[in-house]
Chains A and B, each alone.
Chain A
């Protein structure tokens, strides 16, 4: 036995597979188990109270390798097993972990892995463009297949949940909406204005990120990562770089890490500003919307000035960052933060004191702590429902290990709580940026790696503005990308919307949705 962890993972491994080796690799430990122990592993995991983080498959020789990372107390354990491609069957985790439901369906649609006893085994990502027997992420599937070029048949037979009864109406909303938002379909069953049930249907922005990344060079992969979900481009680029850096065990210079953190916090602030305004706008409080939009715009313009891109796309490179910050830049950021703090205190007071606004936000869309824990909600969605988890504090990656992070927590779980978490996070991030700017170390910007990337793998874990972002990268024997799987926090938070809408009325759906604001693009891949 070669067990190096002295936390819950040790116990977990002893209980589940004492004969197996628990490997300590960078930020996660790996435990390989037999396929027939997969189901008992899920039961052990729930007794430990672990949080299900993701599931992904990967083709290895004649087998599919399945991976499930679990998290408890900020420690990650990666469960791994292999099943033959000829008979790709495995027990489903979805009965015990509802969060596994859609990721397992995604894995089925992409690889053809059959999850036994799955509670809801209809398709998820599978597009009409490829047939039911084709699985795009298998290595023998070519994306340049001429059959795919032909016109895609319409999607008509998705088996939506049905509900009958007198006075029950079905309202389909989307995927094309009246505003400029991403496409997603929401199927409501309503009685009068009360929502009885909501079913989400996504996949309209499936871009084939996972297939595209196959055989890519590392540089192209990081460019691609920055485009998985445009509003989180910094987080994706950082998480992907971190995964690659972990794979070959290098550490970027400190100055680069600090600049990455500054960009990541700037991204958080920009998105929180925009969304707080948008939440207010959805209940007809246009004043706040225009004020926050103005602030966000100013913030983005400084991004453009300093980083040459409003959203800081392609600013993070493997082993470092693209460009340095000058003293002039630092001064500008300090100045801007000082101005923003003043304005924000005023604006938050207006929001807090506007009775008609608070009346709309309070008790709307309540996500109880119990449900939030059950579905594994992360980020501000979880933190508004008393799920106290923030990677920057609880599983700190560089450079956050040196900083003390205040994590705002609320118990109410309503739209108002989610708004307050984000308002507080803005203030925390402004402080953090100040601190990072003040203590910016004078080192190089780039780790120059000349070695190869043969047959290695790594996991990146970042607290993106939406919550925990997990990225898996593995390289093949030529040093090209073998498998890239980014798990957006939205995979865990989208199901929260279906839950928190219960007991609400139809006209409150937009504000509930906006308070969650999950990514469609990051989820559809």
Chain B
């Protein structure tokens, strides 16, 4: 019962903290650009505003357009269950309901529907955004799988809870495969969550958009769900980065003290990654669209090196 409660709390935390994380990144970016930042909780107000607003659906839209926001949001909740946020040793880990392959698959499912929804309404921008999204994801997804396979081979499990448990229980060794895997996953995070240098989340220019172009016609609560899902996705990726490669502090037993330490450590790590993300985004311009494949092929090489160095050096 207690573990179930913790499981529910974890999902709720994903829902509740993801806008805060985005607000934090936005604040930092403002400060780095010498501007006065908006309130850190501004993303919450934006979501509330969108939920209250009238939802307008294009007359050409089919069921795909209406269904996609709900699907994306459900996927985000499932991802929230599968990714350990601040505690391991939860019963879910042993229930075998989902592992890293399912996680990547779920995100691919959400993307599949979002791409269809972008084309569903028949505008030129939606189609362009969809085609670009597929270009980027077709290169990013295999890399993501390679990274996670490297981890799975180390821990002899594809379950994220067990992977982290294995890492935290084995004594610390600097593994070359993990250095490559970390760099690879960090670059995948930029690509998969639509950040600079791959996509610009702050642009108003229809012709340059990728993610934003697909959701141009969404409004009201549909848009709120999509934005919220995107925020959760960003948080999931940052949690993966921080909990796999820096697993220290995560709660291994279910006492209140270790749980609170685990939560605090996770939040600190997330905010640290937010800072790195903000600095990266401030220093870089967006890549030319056809440079994105180069970026992603470097990512793929890093991930391949990770798995190779694991096989060659660490077995």
> What is the interface of chain A, defined by CB distance below 8 A to chain B?
169-173, 177-179, 192-193, 280, 282-287, 290-291, 294, 354, 356-357, 359-360, 364, 505-510
Q: List 20 A-B contacts (CB under 8 A).
A: A169-B124, A170-B124, A171-B124, A177-B204, A178-B205, A178-B206, A193-B128, A284-B197, A284-B286, A287-B283, A291-B33, A294-B34, A354-B283, A356-B197, A359-B288, A360-B288, A364-B288, A506-B207, A507-B208, A510-B208
CB distance from A504 to the nearest CB of B (A): 10
Check B206 against A173 for contact (C-beta < 8 Å).
yes
Q: Which residues of A contact B290 (CB under 8 A)?
A: 193, 505
Check B285 against A357 for contact (C-beta < 8 Å).
yes
Extra contacts, 14 of them, besides A193-B289, A283-B286, A356-B284 (Cβ < 8 A), are: A169-B124, A169-B127, A171-B124, A177-B206, A178-B216, A280-B285, A284-B203, A287-B282, A360-B288, A505-B289, A506-B207, A510-B205, A510-B207, A510-B208
Q: Which residues of B contact A169 (CB under 8 A)?
A: 124, 127
Check B33 against A286 for contact (C-beta < 8 Å).
yes
CB distance from A331 to the nearest CB of B (A): 27
Residue B200 at the chain A interface, CB threshold 8 Å: yes
Residue B175 at the chain A interface, CB threshold 8 Å: no
Q: Which residues of A contact B32 (CB under 8 A)?
A: 287
Residue B307 at the chain A interface, CB threshold 8 Å: no
From 276 to 314 in chain B, residues with beta carbon under 8 angstroms from any chain A beta carbon are 282-291
CB distance from A174 to the nearest CB of B (A): 9
Closest residue on chain B to residue A179 by CB atoms: B204
Check B206 against A360 for contact (C-beta < 8 Å).
no
CA distance A357 to B283 in the complex (A): 9
Q: A280-B285, A283-B285, A284-B286 are in contact. Are A290 and B35 (CB under 8 A)?
A: yes
CA distance A506 to B291 in the complex (A): 14
Residue B29 at the chain A interface, CB threshold 8 Å: yes
CB distance from A92 to the nearest CB of B (A): 34
Check A508 against B285 for contact (C-beta < 8 Å).
no
| Chain B 177-208 interface 0/1 with A at a Cβ cutoff of 8 Å (1 = within) | 00000000000000000001100101111111
The 9 closest A-B pairs by CB, nearest first: A284-B286, A285-B285, A179-B204, A284-B200, A171-B124, A357-B285, A507-B208, A510-B205, A356-B285
Q: Which residues of B contact A287 (CB under 8 A)?
A: 32-33, 282-283
Check B288 against A508 for contact (C-beta < 8 Å).
yes
CB distance from A370 to the nearest CB of B (A): 25
CB distance from B122 to the nearest CB of A (A): 12
Closest residue on chain B to residue A282 by CB atoms: B205
CA distance A192 to B29 in the complex (A): 33
Residue from B127, B200, B285 having most chain A Cβ neighbours under 10 A: B285
CA distance A179 to B285 in the complex (A): 19
Residue from A193, A283, A359, A510 having most chain B Cβ neighbours under 10 A: A283
Q: Which residues of B contact A286 (CB under 8 A)?
A: 29, 33, 202, 282
CA distance A507 to B136 in the complex (A): 15
Q: Which residues of B contact A193 (CB under 8 A)?
A: 128, 132, 289-290
Q: Which residues of B contact A505 (CB under 8 A)?
A: 288-290
Check A284 against B285 for contact (C-beta < 8 Å).
yes
| Chain B 1-41 interface 0/1 with A at a Cβ cutoff of 8 Å (1 = within) | 00000000000000000000000000001001111000000
CA distance A172 to B288 in the complex (A): 22
Residue from B35, B284, B288, B290 having most chain A Cβ neighbours under 10 A: B288
Q: Which residues of B contact A177 (CB under 8 A)?
A: 204, 206
Check A178 against B204 for contact (C-beta < 8 Å).
yes
Number of interface residues of B (CB under 8 A): 32
From 207 to 253 in chain B, residues with beta carbon under 8 angstroms from any chain A beta carbon are 207-208, 216
- Contact pick for A354, options B35, B206, B207, B285, CB 8 Å: B285
Check B285 against A290 for contact (C-beta < 8 Å).
no
Check A356 against B287 for contact (C-beta < 8 Å).
yes
CA distance A317 to B205 in the complex (A): 39
Closest residue on chain A to residue B209 by CB atoms: A507
CA distance A507 to B205 in the complex (A): 9
Check B288 against A282 for contact (C-beta < 8 Å).
no
CA distance A280 to B200 in the complex (A): 13
Q: Which residues of B contact A294 (CB under 8 A)?
A: 34
- Contact pick for B205, options A179, A291, A357, CB 8 Å: A179
Check B128 against A171 for contact (C-beta < 8 Å).
yes
Check B288 against A290 for contact (C-beta < 8 Å).
no
Q: Which residues of A contact B35 (CB under 8 A)?
A: 290
Closest residue on chain A to residue B201 by CB atoms: A284
CB distance from B98 to the nearest CB of A (A): 35
Q: Which residues of A contact B132 (CB under 8 A)?
A: 193
CB distance from B138 to the nearest CB of A (A): 15
CA distance A479 to B216 in the complex (A): 55
Q: Which residues of A contact B283 (CB under 8 A)?
A: 287, 354, 356
CA distance A286 to B196 in the complex (A): 11
Q: Which residues of A contact B204 (CB under 8 A)?
A: 177-179
Closest residue on chain A to residue B33 by CB atoms: A290
CB distance from A390 to the nearest CB of B (A): 30
Check B34 against A290 for contact (C-beta < 8 Å).
yes
CA distance A287 to B285 in the complex (A): 9
Closest residue on chain A to residue B208 by CB atoms: A507
CB distance from A191 to the nearest CB of B (A): 12
Q: Which residues of B contact A357 (CB under 8 A)?
A: 285
CA distance A353 to B203 in the complex (A): 23
Check A507 against B291 for contact (C-beta < 8 Å).
no
CB distance from B295 to the nearest CB of A (A): 11
CA distance A283 to B286 in the complex (A): 6
CA distance A458 to B40 in the complex (A): 60
From 255 to 286 in chain B, residues with beta carbon under 8 angstroms from any chain A beta carbon are 282-286
CA distance A169 to B289 in the complex (A): 18
Q: Which residues of A contact B131 (CB under 8 A)?
A: 192
Residue from B131, B200, B205, B290 having most chain A Cβ neighbours under 10 A: B205
Check A172 against B124 for contact (C-beta < 8 Å).
yes
Check A507 against B197 for contact (C-beta < 8 Å).
no
CA distance A510 to B288 in the complex (A): 12
Closest residue on chain B to residue A194 by CB atoms: B290
Q: Which residues of B contact A172 (CB under 8 A)?
A: 124
CA distance A356 to B295 in the complex (A): 12
Q: Which residues of B contact A507 (CB under 8 A)?
A: 207-208, 288-289
CB distance from A487 to the nearest CB of B (A): 29
| Chain B 120-143 interface 0/1 with A at a Cβ cutoff of 8 Å (1 = within) | 000011011001100000000000
Closest residue on chain B to residue A291 by CB atoms: B34
CA distance A491 to B136 in the complex (A): 39
CA distance A171 to B127 in the complex (A): 10
CB distance from A40 to the nearest CB of B (A): 44
Closest residue on chain A to residue B197 by CB atoms: A356
Q: Which residues of A contact B29 (CB under 8 A)?
A: 286
Closest residue on chain A to residue B196 by CB atoms: A284
Closest residue on chain A to residue B195 by CB atoms: A284
Q: Which residues of B contact A173 (CB under 8 A)?
A: 124, 206-207
Residue from A178, A294, A510 having most chain B Cβ neighbours under 10 A: A178
Q: Which residues of A contact B284 (CB under 8 A)?
A: 284-285, 356
